[in-house]
Structure 1
Amino acid sequence: MTNSSDIITTRSDGSQIVEYNNPTFECFAVKSYYSANKTYHVTEHWHEDLEFLYIIDGELNYNVNEKSMILHAGEGVCVNSKRIHSNHSIPGKPCAYYCSIIHPSLLCSTKYIEQTYLAPLLGPNSFDYLPLSRNDWTYIIIDEMERLFEDSNPKTIELEILEASFRIWKAIYKHVEIPPNIVESSSLKIGSFKSMIMFIQEHYMEKISLEEIASAGNVGKTLCAKLFKKYASKTPGEYLIYYRIQKSIELLTKTDLSTTEISYATGFSSASHYTKTFHEMMGCTPSKFRSDNFNNAYDYYLIPQRDSSGR
């Protein structure tokens, strides 16, 4: 068990590079718990992988594209490939969940399988997410996740993940309508938003303007503001500050850097400005956050940690 919150690394297109438990097996599977005292955020990101999350206990705020939802115990979500998503804890509420992140390549045993059963449902016009519930067919996904985390054999865990993944995708393919192959305007807007997000994530430590953010998405300032409001529920400036705070949290929990060093490393003009902003957003000082959060979380990895050789 470890107390961790992995720093997001990205490809040139801004998509997250998932750090799999076993680098030679494209799946990240973890059971996580956060106490009511733990403030937990995962900023907006996207990846090629499918993401399955199921709440065991407590509540979690989860966002996919412009949709926001509160997930309660017994509920979950399946996020499609390359969809913008984020989540954060709810003040005063604990949360425990299973999360499996699976690259579609695990399901592509042949080119025919990929083109027939996966590609049609992974495109931009297909579903963004599926709510998981025991009241409809998605109970199949919940059952498979529970079986993996509660009743799997460590000796054959990768095979069991493959087996479960095929059963899950079979259910999705049977129940989700295949969309027409057209390009919708919403896909273009999401593309612009992703470009602006990527610009902020690459330059958050610098002084950047609204004009520069809008230019990165090839849109005007007005549309820029509308897209941030739609997909992040924030203004571009608010998102920049939010992202800086999230990066500072990574440094608070992963390094021994001082508050002053962290403030300058994340784009704040001074340590006092950083501390004031952090307190306004997180409800405590950076130093108190560092001390309070260290023992209020744990992660259990379903797949044993292995090196690049799979050992």
Structure 2
Amino acid sequence: MQTKNFAVDHNLKELTKHRTVVLPIACYETMINENIHGYIPLHWHDEFQFVVIVKGKATFQINEEKVVIREGDGVFINSGCLHMAKDDNHSGCVYLCLNVSPHFVLSQELYTTYVYPYIQATNLPYLYLNANKKWGEKILDSIKTIHRLIEQKLPFYEIDITLQLTLIWQNLIISGFQLEYEQTEMLKSYRMKEMLNWIHQHFSEKIMLEEIASAGQLSRSECCRYFKRFLKKSPLNYVTEYRIQKSLVLLQQADSNVTEVAYQVGFNSTSYFIDKFRKSMNMTPLAYKKMKME
């Protein structure tokens, strides 16, 4: 299964149902460049995510950190962490993605001791899975095995998947990562999501910096520092980029036109929309529309 369009709610939480018919997991292959945006846009979900790079390499941003994952290696992304991915150097990156509910990784009797502390850790937004380390190699092999099991659906494959998940989690713990818990970091993550939430609810309206800052209970300068730290851009630049993302879907509707789309996503000038769209997508909105219609 190739996921080409990440549906998210106003809080950037991904709406895709991460499950097979009977299990609260999903495992699929993704080619980054085939996504509607040309990259995997910023989103988050409650499920843990495990990634294996099958071809090429990708730059992942997870919360405020960026990491390049190379072919053969992978990454664990913790529950609730904002993340996005871009193909690195036009490598034609393809990766396997395993999303799994934290409550399904281990039995409920073991959840409190061995899973919940990892969700709460403030120093674990992600963990690089290095194939040259034994524990990393075992996790990567188990992800590939789960993908194969879901595709083949041999008798009792669901039980085999649960065995592989146990091995994955055991090896994650074996990595020896020291967990830390800082209340201030949890508050920062909450405030960042609140500001993004507000933008995604009001992107089609006129937006002022003061309004974004107020949503996070921050001053204007502190709001800018948050966006610089987490997203490496200003709040208003993020608003512009988000509006352009929302315009991509609208432009693919047969009866839409560029001027209408510009105003629908919050631009008050068609020429300004065209200029920003061109800088972001390397083509005009009309050229993009024609390309998609063809």
Interval containing the TM-score (normalised by the shorter chain): 0.7 to 0.9
CA gap 1:66/1:24 in 2 versus in 1, 3 angstroms: same
Which position in structure 2 is the counterpart of 1:299?
Answer: none
Contact residue 18 and residue 47 of structure 1 kept, 8 A: no
Structure 2 residue aligned with 1:65, among 58, 63, 83? 63
- What does 1:1-311 align with in structure 2 at a 5 Å threshold? 4-9=4-9, 15-22=13-20, 25-34=23-32, 40-90=38-88, 92-110=90-108, 112-136=109-133, 137-150=135-148, 153-155=152-154, 156-177=156-177, 179-180=179-180, 182-252=181-251, 255-258=253-256, 259-290=258-289, 292=291
Alpha-carbon shift at residue 43 of structure 1 (Å): 2.8
CA gap 1:217/1:178 in 2 versus in 1, 3 angstroms: same
Aligned partners of 1:77, 1:95: CA distance in 2, in Å?
14
User: Runs of 5+ in structure 1 lacking a partner?
Assistant: 296-311
Out of 205-214 and 244-253, give the one that drifted further.
Answer: 244-253
Once the two structures are superposed, residues 239-265 of structure 1 have per-residue CA deviations (whole angstroms, 9 ceiling, x without a partner) of 111111122223345x44523343222
Once the two structures are superposed, residues 203-231 of structure 1 have per-residue CA deviations (whole angstroms, 9 ceiling, x without a partner) of 11111110000000001011110110010
CA gap 1:100/1:262 in 2 versus in 1, 3 angstroms: farther
Query: Helix, strand or coil for the counterpart of 2:187?
Result: helix
Alpha-carbon shift at residue 170 of structure 1 (Å): 1.2
Report the number of matched residues.
290
Aligned partners of 1:261, 1:103: CA distance in 2, in Å?
40
Out of 167-176 and 219-228, give the one that drifted further.
Answer: 167-176
Contact residue 193 and residue 227 of structure 1 kept, 8 A: yes
TM-score by length of 1: 0.82
Contact residue 7 and residue 16 of structure 2 kept, 8 A: no
Provide the aligned C-alpha RMSD in A.
2.8
Aligned partners of 1:165, 1:133: CA distance in 2, in Å?
18
Alpha-carbon shift at residue 2 of structure 1 (Å): 6.0
Query: Helix, strand or coil for the counterpart of 1:16?
Result: coil
CA gap 1:140/1:293 in 2 versus in 1, 3 angstroms: farther
Aligned partners of 2:102, 2:222: CA distance in 1, in Å?
33
Aligned partners of 2:272, 2:193: CA distance in 1, in Å?
28
**Letter aligned with residue 239 of structure 1:** Y
Contact residue 54 and residue 98 of structure 1 kept, 8 A: yes
Higher relative contact order (Cα pairs below 8 Å, separated by 6+ residues): 1
The structure whose residues are more often helix, as a share, is 2
Contact residue 199 and residue 216 of structure 1 kept, 8 A: yes
Contact residue 36 and residue 91 of structure 1 kept, 8 A: no
CA gap 1:179/1:61 in 2 versus in 1, 3 angstroms: closer
Aligned partners of 1:117, 1:58: CA distance in 2, in Å?
33
Aligned partners of 2:164, 2:198: CA distance in 1, in Å?
37
User: Runs of 5+ in structure 2 lacking a partner?
Assistant: none
